[in-house]
Amino acid sequence: MRMNKLKSYAILAVLICAVLSQMLCTTDYAGGSEIGNPMVVTGMVTDSSGKGIPDVTIYLVDPLERNPLKLLPDSCYKGYSDTDGKYILTGIYNGWYNLIGIDSSGTEMFLKSIEINKPDDSENDTVLCRSDTLEAAANVIVPSAACEVKERAIIFVPGTVIQAYIDTCGDYLIKCPPSTIDIILYQGDSSTILADDITVEAGQWLDLTKKSYDIPSPHFESGLLSGFAGTVYSFSAGGITLGPNHPVQYRFDWGNTVSQWGFPSHSTHAWNEPGTYLVRVQARSIRDTLSVSEWSSAIDVSIQ
């Protein structure tokens, strides 16, 4: 009798462990449980006007994955958008994922946290139909410790597929989806946090090196010295080179107004009133917008 009770307790314990194990897999394992039947995820990628975008690479990634070497195939599903911007991912299990889209140029992206949760009694294998909009990637400048690296090292954004192998000294440009992210340096079996819980916006430049820069004063290469009121004229400043991954912005003082900062080293302007105007140009670093050049020498523009 005692032996039968012990056997009953043992069987009950095994059943409880099995149930708990399945509950943990289906609720706590990020990136999919592989419990039950796999499903189909469908969606569409659009631009700001709602038009579908083709050739966008779509990833479903384990949001807790911090090892870039395990992304494929262990914890990442991959697909592409068709000519209408639609995509299909198959073999997906219930769970939490990061959904990532990257256009063919690598300059526009999106990142969303999603839950895939198909009810047990559902007969429909397609569990998600969504639309996401690409935005300009944020540009993060990361300092490299490559000179001290003795093993293969990777700059990695956990929960995404974004990574860069470090092979030389210098700073690295990491393009990131507008979101809140971490950036780590992974080498060997360990990782070092380079940026923790930072929020980046579409098109933003963020320089984690904390450097300041000496910006030389630009000069004019072309532009008129006399003209007529109400006519649009073009001016071009000599481009300034600060090195790779270091764009320069310019602004123009037209003598009656000052333009906004912008990347082109050329611009246009029209004066509505006759007179003589002093025209100047200034440059600044996009990586440190407080690093601004002196104004260029002014040119006199006579408007009739």
| CATH of residue 191 | 2.60.40.1120
Structural domain containing residue 279: 220-303
Owner of token pair 């210098």: 170
Within a 10 A sphere around the Cβ of 76, how many other Cβ atoms? 19
Query: Could you say which of 107, 136, 165 is where a domain stops?
Result: 136
| Helix (H) / strand (E) containing 5 | helix 2-28
> In terms of domains, do 131 and 44 share one?
yes
Query: Could you say which of 182, 207, 232 is where a domain stops?
Result: 207
Closest listed residue to residue 77, CA positions, set 45, 108, 39, 127: 39
Cα 285 to Cα 268: distance, rounded to the nearest angstrom: 22
**pTM higher than 0.85:** no
Structure confidence at residue 28 (pLDDT): 33
Convert the pLDDT of each residue in 62-102 to its tens digit. 898 888 887 765 557 889 999 999 999 988 888 889 999 99
> In terms of domains, do 203 and 234 share one?
no
> In terms of domains, do 180 and 272 share one?
no
Residue 266 burial by CB count (10 A; 0-12/13-18/19+): exposed, middle or buried?
Answer: middle
Cα 140 to Cα 143: distance, rounded to the nearest angstrom: 10
Q: What is the tally of structural domains in the chain?
A: 3
Convert the pLDDT of each residue in 265-289 to its tens digit. 999 999 999 999 999 999 999 988 8
24 located within any domain: no
> In terms of domains, do 39 and 124 share one?
yes
> In terms of domains, do 110 and 159 share one?
no
| Residue 35: pLDDT band with limits 50, 70, 90 | low
Q: Order of strands across the sheet with 266-269?
A: 220-222, 233-237, 266-269
Structure confidence at residue 140 (pLDDT): 94
Contact 291, 214 (CB under 8 A): yes
> In terms of domains, do 152 and 202 share one?
yes
The mean pLDDT of the chain is 82
Cα 181 to Cα 49: distance, rounded to the nearest angstrom: 27
Convert the pLDDT of each residue in 116-167 to its tens digit. 877 666 666 766 678 899 999 999 998 865 555 556 788 999 999 998 888 7
Contact 236, 252 (CB under 8 A): no
Query: Could you say which of 136, 152, 175 is where a domain stops?
Result: 136
